[in-house]
């Protein structure tokens, strides 16, 4: 058996401590599978006295992660600190310059600096692995980079944030408001005190940027992603979705279109018979569409210490076997600038909920505005609220459109609003029929 693979871990939070535990627990089996012993020889964290449930007394301690990254006591640097700047970026760059292999779970760092880090790794003839950066324990990076190498990928769609899926699941199943579910998610530790990064769709967007690069052989273009969060979803939308045969999910979608590569994150009506619609709670799922394999859906734990650590261990096993990978599957010079597909060009069906003033001709006028922009309506559903007889001045009306353009539906809704027939901003949710 060859010499041990010496591992340095920067960041001993939930994931870092779990990686430490897994290496100790699975070491004999890993050695048999990879032909090499794995050993944590050094760590870096902010507080040496904190009880993390692991014994680090036998390993070297570094207060400075950059010093750990440069240390001759390690062969591979595992970055689990998080953040797209500061210590994480400096330490990863230092490790690459020192010729170390890097394993990271940091999607924010890669979404922002992935191309520069890939170039640095290529220059110093080392590798940057990041299986744990997307979808927790689901091996979607390896699937795209290796298992589907013989496929031309046309589309990715996925539930990539467990916090959002948990909130939407509870809202649907229990009829709770968004705010009530968010408060519960924060109490249970599924959401941060400031939940904007998750519920605003930005976490999903970072992950989608990485998947798009791997799937389409393009440079990372996180700025091209259209992003909407879930904070505007109302319990009525979830109830109507159920009646119409859909379920609302926050999806990250990337696909090749006639106008370029479309990347978008937003609440979506998903057909209840589709695999993604069945995924509830904090679970993640990704559907990959390839020309050879068809649709392949991967489902599993999208977060949590051990689930994410499992993906880190997958990368470490590859490193132990001596695997060398191109960061984004292709040599850097082979990656193309992604042709952007403007969101206004997006075409599909739409769910539109309007608070229509209760007066003669209002609904007919709305239908006329839709027709003026060649928008065909599949159905119109009108619901009188329970308090209608107590003086309610508006009623909810739901429109389901056939395929039309984003530009067209928004222009029609602007006209409807200008006509004065609706009492508040329309609710617009895209429908995925694939």
Q: Could you tell me the sign of the dihedral formed by the alpha carbons of 53, 57, 58, 62, in that order?
A: positive
Half-sphere exposure of 384 (CA within 13 A, CB side): 8
List residues with catalytic annotation.
207
Closest CA to 165 of 270, 32, 256: 270
Q: Cβ distance 150 to 291 under 8 Å?
A: no
d(CA 146, CA 114): 19
Residue 2 half-sphere exposure toward CB, CA atoms < 13 A: 10
Give 322's contacts (C-beta < 8 A, 6+ positions apart). Answer: none
Q: In this structure, what are the phi and psi dihedrals at residue 144, rounded to the nearest 5 degrees?
A: -70, -45
* Buried b / exposed e along 117-137 (16+ C-beta atoms within 10 A): bbebbbeeebbbbbbbbbbbb
CA distance 15 to 309: 6
CA–CA separation, 373 and 399 (whole Å): 15
Beta bridge partners of 401: 377
The two structure tokens encoding residue 85: 């700047």
CA distances from 347 to 20, 56, 247, 263 (A): 47, 55, 20, 13
251, 348 in Cβ contact below 8 A? Answer: no
């Amino acid at each position: 058996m060859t010499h041990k693979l010496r591992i340095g871990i920067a960041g001993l939070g939930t994931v870092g401590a779990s990686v430490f535990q897994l290496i100790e627990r699975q070491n004999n089996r890993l050695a048999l599978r990879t032909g090499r012993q794995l050993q944590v020889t050094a760590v870096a964290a902010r507080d040496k006295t904190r009880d993390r449930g692991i014994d680090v007394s036998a390993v070297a301690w570094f207060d400075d992660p950059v010093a750990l990254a440069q240390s001759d006591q390690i062969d591979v640097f595992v970055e689990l600190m998080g953040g797209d700047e500061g210590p994480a970026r400096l330490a990863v760059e230092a490790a690459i310059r020192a010729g170390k292999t890097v394993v990271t779970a940091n999607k924010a760092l890669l979404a922002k600096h992935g191309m520069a880090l890939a170039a640095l790794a290529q220059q110093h003839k080392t590798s940057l692995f990041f299986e744990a950066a997307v979808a927790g324990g689901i091996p979607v990076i390896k699937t795209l980079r290796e298992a589907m190498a013989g496929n031309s990928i046309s589309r990715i769609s996925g539930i990539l944030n467990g916090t959002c899926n948990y909130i939407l699941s509870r809202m649907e199943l229990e009829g709770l408001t968004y705010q009530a579910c968010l408060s519960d998610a924060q109490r249970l530790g599924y959401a941060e005190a400031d939940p904007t990064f998750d519920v605003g769709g930005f976490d999903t967007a970072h992950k989608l940027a990485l998947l798009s690069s791997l799937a389409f052989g393009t440079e990372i273009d996180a700025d091209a992603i259209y992003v909407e969060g879930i904070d505007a979803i109302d319990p009525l939308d979830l109830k109507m979705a159920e009646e119409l045969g859909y379920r609302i999910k926050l999806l990250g979608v990337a696909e090749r279109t006639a106008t370029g590569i479309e990347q978008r994150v937003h609440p979506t009506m998903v057909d209840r018979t589709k695999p993604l619609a069945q995924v509830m709670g904090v679970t993640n799922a990704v559907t990959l569409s390839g020309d050879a394999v068809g649709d392949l859906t991967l489902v599993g734990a999208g977060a949590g210490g051990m689930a994410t650590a499992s993906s880190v261990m997958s990368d470490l096993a590859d490193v132990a076997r001596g695997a060398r990978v191109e960061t984004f599957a292709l040599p850097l010079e082979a990656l193309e600038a992604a042709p952007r597909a403007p969101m206004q060009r997006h075409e599909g069906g739409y769910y539109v909920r309007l608070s229509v003033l209760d007066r003669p001709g209002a609904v007919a006028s709305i239908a006329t505005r839709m027709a003026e922009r060649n928008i065909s309506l599949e159905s119109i559903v009108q619901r009188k609220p329970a308090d209608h007889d107590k003086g309610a001045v508006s009623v909810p009306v739901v429109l389901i459109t056939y395929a039309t353009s984003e530009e067209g539906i928004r222009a029609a809704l602007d006209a409807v609003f200008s006509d004065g027939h609706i009492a508040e901003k329309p609710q617009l949710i895209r429908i995925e029929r694939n």
